[in-house]
Structure 1
Amino acid sequence: MSYTRRSKNELAQRVARDIHEGAYVNLGIGMPTTVANHLPPGTEVVLHSENGILGMGPAPAAGLEDYDLINAGKQPVTLLAGGCYFHHADSFGMMRGGHLDICVLGAFQVSATGDLANWSTGEPDAIPAVGGAMDLAVGAKQTWVMMDLLTKDGKSKVVDQCSYPLTGLGCVKRIYSDLATLECTPDGLRVIDLVDGLSKAELEKLIGLSVQN
């Protein structure tokens, strides 16, 4: 197989490209936060953080960080004109009330039908870290996952059935990965795009699942 993986920045650019004008979007802790740096200038997308921020901008330049203004992952952020911060109870009310168009989350596993496992590996020494993931996964109008397709051991994170504790059932609509973009449907996976050099057959071999066109 001869193909090129998307870099972290390229993957963030790929996700940003699909966020529609006027969307209210939550970017989850970790890799998803980098999407904020790749939204086209002038695009009106309102970024939300569950600790109580609306209207976040890209990451601050080095030396200009304000640690009184952080996202849910404790990273310093910027606030665009018109942005605001507020009590986290109001923020969770937004999440649970269906007021977010899209949330972008990381994941340990996603099933072919959109089940999500992203808060614990179930190991005895694992630190539970569900945060607002459950509220986001079922509260947003669309839940997208952004992740590497394979673990460091080469195992697929896209599976037939999740073996890790679940965050939500059938909630994931799209999987954005370093090798492919996939749609989760009640009938299984559908391929949206593949990186150059990767065939559908090779993808199916990597994940051990059939994929529709």
Structure 2
Amino acid sequence: MKKREFIARRIAQEFDNGAVINLGFGMPTASANYMSEDIDVILQTENGGLMFGPAPQKGEHNSELANAGGEPITMRPGGSAFDLATSFCIIRGGHVDVTVLGALEVDEHGNIANWKIPGKFVPGMGGGMDLLVGAKRVVAALAHVDKNGNSKILKDCNLPLSAAGAVDRIITDKGVFDVTDDGLVLIEIAPNVELDEVKEVTEADFVVSEDLTEIQV
């Protein structure tokens, strides 16, 4: 299984019945394709939609319906599409239970950088900052290391922050960490990954949960 699919499948396990869940573009939005049929959630997309579902089959998409990344989506019964202003009323009004966002870096303090690399053009910060402070719970999803093998789970973020102390959980291709007042706690580890490997590719300090389990996707 490819890394991005693995992370997306694990993200889908964060969905609880009745929750309003915002999915950022990339691996978070891909997680909608792996929702359990037993879970009834309200997926919210930043650009204006509630109760969207998996990606449509090829040739069956509605050009007027898309997720935060501009990808086609389906709508579940009772779903609705609306303007950006209404969407941000939901976000800023504290009505989002969980947001799952991609990240360039996260650190052991729960800080997250996910919008800018100095010297590179970006179109803007989008709604990430609003979601990070407006959602009741924040999950960051990212590859554990960059293309050069450097850790993206740091002691302190190097890139400009999107929000400080906002992240509650980190999901990577190596494991799942909870962010606590005492630092990071590794609660799940990926199949066929040894604990020493996780330690080797993680700059941040972390402790291992006594109830450490293997990620099941």
Q: CA deviation at 1:159?
A: 0.6
Q: Report the residue type matching 2:91 in the other structure.
A: M
2:197 match: secondary structure = helix
Structure 1, residues 74-129: CA drift from partner, whole Å, max 9, x if none? 1111111100011211110111111011100000000111101000012x233143
Q: Distance in 2 between matches of 1:34 and 1:162?
A: 26
Map Cα deviations across residues 151-175 of structure 1 (whole Å, 9 max, x no partner). 0000111111111111001001111
**Secondary structure of residue in 1 paired with 2:201:** helix
1:142 matched to 2:137: yes
Alignment of 1:62-81 (within 5 A): 62-81=58-77
Which of 53, 56, 60 is residue 49 of structure 2 equivalent to? 53
Letter aligned with residue 155 of structure 1: N
Q: Once the two structures are superposed, what CA deviation does each residue of 1:57-89 show, in whole Å capped at 9, x if it has no partner?
A: 100000111111112211111111100011211
* Aligned counterpart, 1:103: 99
> CA contact under 8 A between 1:149 and 1:156: conserved in structure 2?
yes
The percentage of aligned residue pairs carrying the same residue is 38
Q: Which residue of 1 is the match for residue 190 of structure 2?
A: 195
Cα distance in 2 for residues equivalent to 1:68 and 1:128: 22
Q: Where does structure 1 lack aligned partners over 5 or more consecutive residues?
A: none
Note the aligned Cα RMSD (angstroms): 1.4
Indicate how the Cα distance of structure 1 residues 62 and 151 shifts in structure 2: closer, same or farther if over 3 A, else same: same
Give, in whole Å, the separation in 2 of the partners of 1:143 and 1:186.
15
Q: Retained in 2: the 8 A contact 1:120–1:128? A: no
Aligned to 1:7: 3
What's 1:21 paired with?
17
Distance 2:171 2:52 in 1: 22
User: 1:114, 1:171 within 8 Å by CA — same for their partners in 2?
Assistant: yes
How far off its partner does 1:202 sit? 2.7
Q: Write the deviation string for residues 124-156 of structure 1: whole angstroms up to 9, x where unpaired.
A: 233143100000011111110111100000011
For structure 2, the 5+ residue unaligned runs are 209-217
Rounded Cα–Cα distance in structure 1 between residues aligned with 2:2 and 2:71:
24
The amino acid of 1:169's aligned partner reads A
Question: C-alpha distance in 1, partners of 2:74/2:162?
Answer: 29
Letter of the aligned partner of 1:20 in structure 2? D
What TM-score does the superposition give when structure 1 sets the normalisation length? 0.93
Whole-angstrom distance in 2 between the partners of 1:133 and 1:172 = 12
- Partner of residue 175 from structure 1, selected from 161, 170, 174: 170
CA contact (8 A) 2:17 2:41 kept: yes
**Counterpart amino acid of residue 75 in structure 2:** L
Worse-superposed segment, 111-120 or 12-21: 12-21
Verify: 1:83 aligned to 2:87, yes or no: no
Contact kept? 2:7, 2:27, Cα under 8 Å: no
- Aligned in 2, Cα 1:72/1:196: closer, same or farther, shift over 3 Å? closer
